Amino acid sequence: MTLNRKLNEATRLMREGGLAGLVIYSDGTCNILRASALRYFADVAPMGPNAAAVVSADGRVTLLVQPSWDADRVKQRTWIDDVRGADEFERGLTDAVRRLEISGTVGLGGGREMPHPVYAALSGAVSVVAADDIIETIAREKSPEEIALVRKAAAAADAGFEAFREAARVGVREYEIVADVEYAMRRAGADDNFILLSTGPHNTAMRAPTDRRVAPGDIVIGEITPVCEGQFVQLCRTVSVGAPARALVDCYDLLLRACERAVRAVRANVPASIIASTIDGVLTDAGYGEYCRPPYMRTRGHGFGIGSVAPGALIDADTDRPLLDQQVVVVHPNQYLPDTGYLACGETWMVTRDGAERLARTETKLYVNS
């Protein structure tokens, strides 16, 4: 059998679950809130609109990609030997199931992305059950290569924020700030980026950039998220353009204290909800309890990538799933406060048995540009 760890673990878990096969599907989407199980498993980003790995219980695997002309690119990047183009995807999928002699019950990973015609074709050939937990279980143990990619993404985030801080100056347009950040993170090795920001004296949220120019006295907030081969790291930062008002200094200090206290509570085997409850507790004690719910805030953090806690979901007071060793999570008390508007504060941490490891090197503080 192949020495590929992911395939070996997948076949072991399939046997334990009584599955004759496993289909891992992707529609080509991979973003900070919806990581791709297929990208994780196959070590390659599918273009879409349809792609799937078909795995037999004895360890044979076929990777189907659409459009078919993308097969050559995929072959150069994946560990899977049998890569096939499938312009008629439903037929290609059922043919692969028959060719690998899969009969009985088949697990389906990524099924929430699968359109009905593809699901109908697959379920017409075999019995299908949800099996996202197989990929999530495999991903909970990060390989040295995956941890290296997380650290590479963290370094790209640091580079991105340095560009953000330098660009957040009077007269610069919002889209010019984003262009500088994108360029810096790409140069640092990111293969994709997600960036939100807002500029103004009293922001209400972060959003896509516009052509607005930064003005004296503005508060510039940003959420920058580089991606390195499916691994994500995020920084949330605030820059004051000119000397900050006392209210801004005090309010940001409050968010820093909330963030620091939440991070101190993070460790393996505690419920993820402790992040939200700790942040909300600090803000409530300071008299801002009514602002600890939408529309004044969206979330206190989120899981990142396959294998993280509630991957793609928001971390709130009801997220009772435990944090696990090596999970990557974002802790951010991003918050609207009446005296300052919306502020961005927080970053990404790796959960450990004894606490949390800081991934980025950029200091979490209120930055000031003269």
Token couple for 369: 């540009």
pTM: 0.90
User: How do residues 164-206 score in pLDDT, each as one tens digit?
Assistant: 999 999 999 999 999 999 999 999 999 999 999 999 999 999 9
Q: Which amino acid is at 324?
A: L
Domains and CATH numbers, the chain: 5-139 (3.40.350.10), 144-369 (3.90.230.10)
Strand order in the sheet with 61-66: 82-85, 61-66, 50-56, 21-26, 105-109, 127-130
Note the pLDDT of residue 308: 85
Residue 343 pLDDT exceeds 50: yes
User: How do residues 286-302 score in pLDDT, each as one tens digit?
Assistant: 999 999 999 999 899 98
Q: What is the pLDDT averaged over residues 23-31?
A: 90
Instruction: Please confirm whether the linkage preceding 67 is cis (ω < 30° from 0).
Output: yes
With vertex at residue 89, the alpha carbon angle to CA 87 and CA 95, rounded to the nearest 5 degrees, is 115
Note the pLDDT of residue 2: 44
With vertex at residue 254, the alpha carbon angle to CA 249 and CA 260, rounded to the nearest 5 degrees, is 120
